Structure 1
């Protein structure tokens, strides 16, 4: 498994990022169609959590294996599926996954579970995309370092903190909870999902783009070259549900 995947500049089309999908690929396709997404030249980067909660989790393999323009990070829900398969439904990991929308996984045969687990295990923890305006980093939940190159080096080399940092990348909500507006150095922007929001939150140079398209919100598509959102950010609406 490559912990980091790197993509060169898209010279023929546009690059977009999207937040958590959670088994709602039909809704996602509708958002792509509305944005005029062209699969012949455009690329879509998912920050993870393709499965659980929604009715179309089984379609994750089709998107990952048969759509060459679609690329995804391993979110905490993919991680739970992997650990559930390894530990079994009766394990702590299996129980956690089941109560967090993973029931679809346990309706599968052990062979089918193994196939999904293998596919998810191949997903990276981080993605880097080169754009005409600079490098953009993608992570599922949070960036635990003030320097993107420092995070990349730690994850890639597998140093003593790698597992701890990986868990933060997949699970943390620290930046949003504390409204941390510090800039992550060494990268133009960082894109994350994991926490459902009313609309995109930009803290420092970190873009949180899970606008609850899998709930009663909408899917946001972030243009990685321009950092413009479709639909645009509404300045009259706060990103926090409780604000």
Structure 2
């Protein structure tokens, strides 16, 4: 799989972007219903962290197989992968960070499903909307969006785990892209830093799952 997948403009329907789902399947369905989401014409892009901390994580892990759903991998998908393949400290870290839902499931089945889902979860997506380009990663983009094409281990870790930009409240725009939408860091309300839009409103804690029309990102 390529590190980034690019999508042409949706000529028949709308595009939406949703924040970290974290096993809150019912909240997602409710949010989609509020915007009259059309599974035939519309597309839903997700900033990652489909699983952990929510009871319906297994259901959410099946979302990448839906033809209308387009996610990127988050740090919780990677935590799960490390735990299921290595055990030990990786297992403990996963459990501490919300992986306990897997204890009620068939572990080999969870592992199989995760490996299959990751084939549909690149590190980044790029979507054309109204003639402009929106980038989507889980945590943090490199300073130059084009660096994702050839990202090495350090860049991949930044994409999935990074928080340096929001810690510094850095407003310097990411170059090579019109806007970037990220999750990972919980904020009270969707927030812009330069051309980077943070949308994780902590659904598993607050019950508020952010789902926005991609056109609003460029408004």
TM-score, with normalisation over the residues of structure 1?
A: 0.84
1:221 aligns with 2:217: no
SS in 2 for 1:127: strand
Question: Following superposition of structure 1 onto structure 2, how do residues 1-243 of structure 1 map, counting pairs within 5 Å?
Answer: 1-65=1-65, 67-88=66-87, 91-122=88-119, 123-143=121-141, 145-149=142-146, 151-155=147-151, 162-227=152-217
Question: Post-superposition shift, 1:41?
Answer: 0.9
Q: Bigger shift: 217-226 or 16-25?
A: 217-226
Structure 2 residue runs without a partner (length 5+):
none
Post-superposition CA distance 1:56-104 (Å, at most 9, x none):
0010243222x2101111100000111111102xx22111001111012
Structure 1 residue runs without a partner (length 5+):
156-161, 230-243
TM-score, with normalisation over the residues of structure 2?
A: 0.93
Separation (CA, whole Å) in 1 of partners of 2:202 and 2:29: 15
Separation (CA, whole Å) in 2 of partners of 1:26 and 1:206: 28
Post-superposition CA distance 1:1-45 (Å, at most 9, x none):
332211111001111111100000101111111122221211100
Separation (CA, whole Å) in 2 of partners of 1:12 and 1:117: 31
Determine if contact 1:61/1:119 at 8 Å carries over to the other structure: no
Determine if contact 2:134/2:179 at 8 Å carries over to the other structure: yes
Q: Which runs of 4+ in 1 moved over 6 A?
A: none
Post-superposition CA distance 1:181-238 (Å, at most 9, x none):
0101111100000011110010000000111222215122232234179xxxxxxxxx
SS in 1 for 2:16: strand
Higher share in helix: 2
Post-superposition CA distance 1:142-176 (Å, at most 9, x none):
11x22111x22322xxxxxx111111111111121
Number of residue pairs the alignment of both structures matches: 218
Separation (CA, whole Å) in 2 of partners of 1:54 and 1:61: 11
Separation (CA, whole Å) in 2 of partners of 1:48 and 1:132: 24
Question: Post-superposition shift, 1:120?
Answer: 3.8
